[in-house]
Structure 1
Amino acid sequence: MNAAWSKLALLTYNLVSATRGLCFSVEERTVRMKKFRLLLIHLSGRMNRNNCVMGLRLCASAEAIARMTKVGAVFELPTQATAAVAMGRGKNKRFG
């Protein structure tokens, strides 16, 4: 248990350090963990679905959204391809 916990703590420290160095501005790179959580993790928002297309609506400042977008661009993950056209209410011509 202790070995697994210390490896998890080390991995978390490395991820936070990489995020600070690659994605934050110069004055934000020296923030403590509490401020890091406030800058990046504690953003209020909600998931919504419109015509079978999932979206994320954020209630945050433009700087916070830009910071989150930069983290997503730096640590880009492969995602599953989705339909470009919403498949609701007969708007998609492929399916009738």
Structure 2
Amino acid sequence: MTTDQFTVDTGLIRDTTANLAVIKAEFDDAEQNTSSAGDVVPHELLARTLQEFATGWDTRRREFSEAITTLNGLGTAIADQVEQWEADAAAAAEGTDGNGDEG
């Protein structure tokens, strides 16, 4: 959408949300529990450190995934609203109600 004052590229917004969906899928498909690596390390402190890292990463990964879901939803909502606003403005300029009926 372009006006005299600003331009909104809803296609770019939608492409970005699609890319976010791919990133989220990568996070969600990552190995859920890497703490088993600590089971094969003979050094107790190193094994415990690996398990703590794995647990912390699982939590952080979930947080990233949730944030990506939120961003994706916001991007989609923004694109939808801008496109609806543009359609409504075009309909008003043509003297129709957006469905082609004069209003």
**TM-score between the two structures when normalised by the length of structure 1:** 0.28
Work out which structure has the larger RCO, using CA pairs closer than 8 Å and 6 or more positions apart in sequence.
2
**TM-score between the two structures when normalised by the length of structure 2:** 0.26
Structure 1 or 2: more helix by fraction: 2
Structure 1 or 2: more strand by fraction: 1
